[in-house]
Structure 1
């Protein structure tokens, strides 16, 4: 159970970082002409930056809680 919580948290952190990287790439392409792969949409990547940050923070809390729970269980067992 603790292992699956930890895995879910780590996966969430990775997904959050992926979202941050994708949206940062889109933001970087704002000055590139559309015919060269650029975009004019800055709102979506800006919102995704915030969502990615929130996902990383929430997932880090899951990892932290799983770690604390495991530590408590070890303390009780010993």
Structure 2
């Protein structure tokens, strides 16, 4: 746990924003329509949670995506979040 906490402090340094982590699981789930993370699920989910957090007073948000399909994440065009 200490190693993880040390790495997080190194990674985020003095970032005071509210950190939202999203694990986008694809890879071994592709082809199973109810389990694969799709653009049609992810974008509305991000809209919902960012709106919720902003309404709760968290106006300074940072998004961290965890996953194994970098091209898919880049193609989401997340500049509005």
TM-score (norm 2): 0.33
Higher helix share: 1
Higher strand share: 2
